[in-house]
Amino acid sequence: MSIHIDPRSLRKRKNREAQFKALSYMAISVAGIFLVIFFADIVRQGYTAFQQTEIAVEVTYTQEIYDNPRSAIDEKIAPLVSRGVTRILPMHLRENPQLMGKTEKLWVLANAEVDQHVKGKANRLKPREVTLVDEMRAAGEIRKAFNTGFFTNGDSKLPEMAGILSAAVGTLYLLAITFAFSFPAGVMAAIYLEEFAPDNRLMHIVEVNINNLAAIPSILFGLLGLAIFINFMGFPRSSALVGGLTLALMTLPVIIIATRAAIRAIPDSIREAALALGATHWQVVWDHVLPLSLPGILTGTIIGLARAIGETAPLLIIGMVAYIQDMPRGVTSAATVLPAQIYVWSSESLRAFTERTSAGIIVLLVVLLSMNAVAILLRNKYERKW
């Protein structure tokens, strides 16, 4: 008996396949194009922020500085210099009285308007100042240098001074606190649910609820944090401790789910072999299941933490989206985080903050991408096939 294939039907099926392939291809291209446009736009707007304009000035220390700090600099050039430079002169002189009467030649920060002009962006310089800046630039007295201030300063209202240091340190604090609370709790909860929990109705309810928690909008965790940690426990508002605990609540279900999946992937033969040799149930978990599932657990944890450091919504509720200039000096002092810093800059009226906003986004994206890369590397290195 021969199998009869209708050539028309075959063609039709092959056509279908081609169409389906084309559609899938289009879907991935659209996603790819959006991603490229997004990255390109952010980089285009933000790359200029990694350079900052500096200006060469002669600073003369006189008694007059105490009343009018700007008098230290030639009055023609003074309007081009950042306020961040002149306003600290009185304090600098008070601490270093030997400078009185001396003149120093320094490269100092130019103000944001000069900076934007040098970078070819819209600015509010007066025509007279524009000529002066162009002359000084031709004479080599205005230069663009790598913007170290962006990484070593805290937030500022002067765009040329604004940096991400305090937000970055705040993010580290939050990350550490989030990890310290959610990792042990999450892993232990998952071990219990996978290895020890009885199979009854109560446990099913717990399981369903954990899965639901992972899908709750993050802002609700902010409300929970406000109610429990600030209003009930009385921790200080805006502090890294409250922020970290709130994000820990949010990350907990993610870690539990990832850990359970990792534990479930360990074949039963491992457990049975250990039990057969007389190990207690506890020894099986501690000596065999946990070490073998650790790469999976860590991958899940890193992805959960990466999600947590990109969060602003819950932090808005607990007062961390604010003007916080200084680095946190402990878990109870006020702190802000990178995404909150980006949000604050994006609503500034001064246009020089636009490039800073984009530069902040670039830094955050780099951090997130590296965290995800570490997760992938861990998985590839330690992944075992059974």
Partner 1 sequence: MNRFLKKTVFALALLVVGSGMAHARDQVKITGSSTVFPFSSYVAEELGATTKFPAPVVESTGSGGGHKLFGAGMGPNTPDIANSSRRMKDSEFETAAKNGVVDITEAKIGFDGIAIAQNKDNEPMSITLEELAMAVAADVPVDGKIVPNPYKMWNEINPSLPARKIVFYGPPTSSGTRDAFEEMVVEKICGKIEGYEKGYKKIRQDSAYVPAGENDNLIVQKLSKDKDAFGIFGYSFLEENADTIQAAAIGGVTPDAETVASGKYPISRSLYFYIKNAHYDAIPGLKEYVELFMSEKMIGKDGLLKGIGLIPLPDDARAKVREDVLAKKKLTLDDLKKK
Q: How far is the CB of 199 from partner 1 (least distance, A)?
A: 24
Q: How far is the CB of 208 from partner 1 (least distance, A)?
A: 26
Closest CA to 61 of 96, 23, 26, 85: 96
Residues 45/67, Cβ–Cβ less than 8 Å: no
Residues 43, 361: Cα–Cα separation, whole Å: 9
Q: How far is the CB of 141 from partner 1 (least distance, A)?
A: 25
Q: How far is the CB of 234 from partner 1 (least distance, A)?
A: 7
- Please give the distance of CA 171 from its chain centroid, rounded to a whole number: 7
Considering the complex, state which of residue 269 and residue 349 has its C-beta at the smaller distance from partner 1: 349
Alpha helices in 199-239 (DSSP H): 201-213, 218-225
Considering the complex, state which of residue 140 and residue 234 has its C-beta at the smaller distance from partner 1: 234
Q: How far is the CB of 143 from partner 1 (least distance, A)?
A: 24
Q: How far is the CB of 160 from partner 1 (least distance, A)?
A: 13
Q: How far is the CB of 151 from partner 1 (least distance, A)?
A: 18
Residues 89/104, Cβ–Cβ less than 8 Å: no
Q: How far is the CB of 87 from partner 1 (least distance, A)?
A: 5
Considering the complex, state which of residue 6 and residue 95 has its C-beta at the smaller distance from partner 1: 95
Edge-to-edge strand ranges of the sheet holding 103-109: 103-109, 51-60, 142-146
Considering the complex, state which of residue 13 and residue 329 has its C-beta at the smaller distance from partner 1: 329
Q: What 8-state DSSP symbol labels residue 295?
A: H
Name the residues that contact partner 1, by CB under 8 A.
Answer: 83-84, 87-88, 90-91, 122, 124, 156-158, 180-181, 183-185, 187-188, 233-238, 241, 286, 319, 321-326, 331-334, 344, 346-351, 354
Closest CA to 176 of 251, 125, 83: 251
Considering the complex, state which of residue 104 and residue 326 has its C-beta at the smaller distance from partner 1: 326
Q: How far is the CB of 5 from partner 1 (least distance, A)?
A: 57
Considering the complex, state which of residue 51 and residue 333 has its C-beta at the smaller distance from partner 1: 333
How crowded is residue 107: how many other Cβ atoms within 10 Å of its Cβ? 13
Considering the complex, state which of residue 13 and residue 87 has its C-beta at the smaller distance from partner 1: 87
Considering the complex, state which of residue 25 and residue 282 has its C-beta at the smaller distance from partner 1: 282
Considering the complex, state which of residue 110 and residue 324 has its C-beta at the smaller distance from partner 1: 324
Alpha carbon distances (Å) from 10 to 1, 16, 21, 340: 20, 10, 17, 58
Using alpha carbons only, give the angle 222, 227, 231 rounded to the nearest 5 degrees.
125
Q: How far is the CB of 176 from partner 1 (least distance, A)?
A: 11
Residues 359/46, Cβ–Cβ less than 8 Å: yes
How crowded is residue 16: how many other Cβ atoms within 10 Å of its Cβ? 10
Kind plus residue range of the DSSP H or E element containing 362: helix 352-382
φ and ψ of 135, to 5 deg: -60, -50
Residues 336, 272: Cα–Cα separation, whole Å: 49
Residues 223, 309: Cα–Cα separation, whole Å: 18
* 123 torsion bin: left (phi>0), alpha (psi -120 to 50), beta (else): beta
- Beta-strand runs (E) in 73-182: 103-109, 142-146
Considering the complex, state which of residue 151 and residue 323 has its C-beta at the smaller distance from partner 1: 323
Residues 324, 245: Cα–Cα separation, whole Å: 19
